[in-house]
Amino acid sequence: MFVLQVAVVVLLAIGAVVMLALTAQRESTREADNRSLAVAQGFASSPGIAQALKSPDPTAILQPRVAEAQTGSGVDFLGVLNRDGIYYALSSLSGQAGVRTTTDMAPLLAGRTVKEEAVGSLGPQVRVFVPVKGPDGTVDGVVGAGITLEHVSDRVTGQLPAVLGAAVGAVVVTTGGAAVLSRRLLRQTRGLGPAEITGRLWRQLPAG
């Protein structure tokens, strides 16, 4: 009976750890998505971005600003694209402009934000693209920001020791309590098992 109790507790603990890990993964992905959105929107609304997109040499103006803004922002890449989806500036490629995005530009040119999980130059990533609008509301370009799934997973992994520690603690406390209870019952029943106790009760019942 005690072994069965321990097995049930361990299975419940494993199930709880799996659920908590999945929840942590979802929360980390959501956090990465929100951070990417905040960085992209913040940079897109920065003074001079729309004007730089219309300048004779957007890369010369935007690349230093992209590199500076990406540092310490919590995202793995930050970039500015033209209406054709070609990067004028991209922090993750050390100034190598001219790379074309794989993101569908149609929603962005219509003024909508795009959130997606895709494979980019840094590998699988969570990324967000927002349109840069001029004073008249026309979309002059796009700003993108993202975090690699590797870093999202790293954040989940960092939470696992606490989750596992809590699960192990629950197993130890529960099994310890079950062991104490089992020993107490054995003392009270003088070591008799359930079948023996039932048999004695039946024998004590009056016949007829």
Structural domains of the chain sorted by starting position, each given as residue range(s) with its CATH number in brackets? 14-154 (3.30.450.20)
Nearest 10 degrees: CA dihedral of 112, 118, 122, 128?
20
pLDDT in tens, 39-97: 999 999 999 999 999 999 999 999 999 999 998 888 999 999 999 999 999 986 654 56
Among 15-24, 45-54, 103-112, the least confident range: 15-24
Tell me what the pLDDT averaged over the chain comes to.
78
| Band of residue 106 on the pLDDT scale cut at 50, 70, 90 | very high
Alpha helices (H) along the chain: 2-44, 49-53, 58-70, 106-109, 149-188, 194-204
pLDDT in tens, 120-131: 777 788 999 999
Angstrom CA distances, 114 to 125, 143, 144, 149, stand at 14, 11, 9, 17
pLDDT in tens, 143-170: 999 998 887 765 555 555 665 565 566 6
